[in-house]
Amino acid sequence: MTETTTRPAPKAAVILTPRAEERIAELMSKAPEDAIGVKLSTPRRGCSGLAYSVDYVSEEAKFDEKIETPGGVFYIDGASVLYLVGSTMDWVEDDFSAGFVFENPNAKGACGCGESFMV
C-alpha cells in the first residue's frame, strides 16, 4: 500500500497588500459589465524592457494564475509569472500621484523614470 503525501497549497506568485486588495475591490465596483477581474501582465515596453500593466479582463486564459481577493478576482498573466514570483504589489497614494507599486526581487534594474524593469 502506498502512502499519500499531502503538500501545502502553493503560495501565490504575487503577494497583494491590503491596500492593493482594497484598490482591486474599488476597481471592480466600477468595472465594465463584462469584466471578471483585474489582470497583471508585463508587456515589453520602456527603456529597460518590461513594464507592469494592470487592466480589466473579461475572460480567463488557460495559464493565468487566479487569486481570489475579498473584492474580486486578480489574475496574473501566465507568461509573466516567472518575472513576478516573490513580488509584492501595493497601492500607494500621496498628494501628487497614485498607483500600484511593485517590490520585485527578480528585477535586476529599472529605467530612470521607473516605467520599466529588466530581469
For the cut 60, the answer to whether the pLDDT of residue 8 exceeds it is no
Question: Is residue 116 very low, low, confident or very high in pLDDT (cuts 50, 70, 90)?
Answer: low
For the cut 80, the answer to whether the pLDDT of residue 4 exceeds it is no
pLDDT (0 to 100) of residue 107: 81
**Pick from 85, 82, 28: nearest CA to 54:** 28
For the cut 70, the answer to whether the pLDDT of residue 1 exceeds it is no
Which percentage of the chain shows pLDDT scores above 70?
80
What is each CA distance from 17 to 24, 56, 69, 113, 118, in whole angstroms?
Answer: 11, 19, 11, 24, 23
* Model pTM score: 0.81
pLDDT tens per residue, range 26-67: 999 999 999 999 999 998 876 657 888 999 999 999 999 999
The per-residue DSSP string of the chain comes to -PPPPP-PPPPPSEEEPHHHHHHHHHHHHT--TT--EEEEE--EETTTEE--EEEEESS--TT-EEEEETTEEEEE-TTTHHHHTTEEEEEEE-SS-EEEEEE-TT--EE-TTSS-EE-
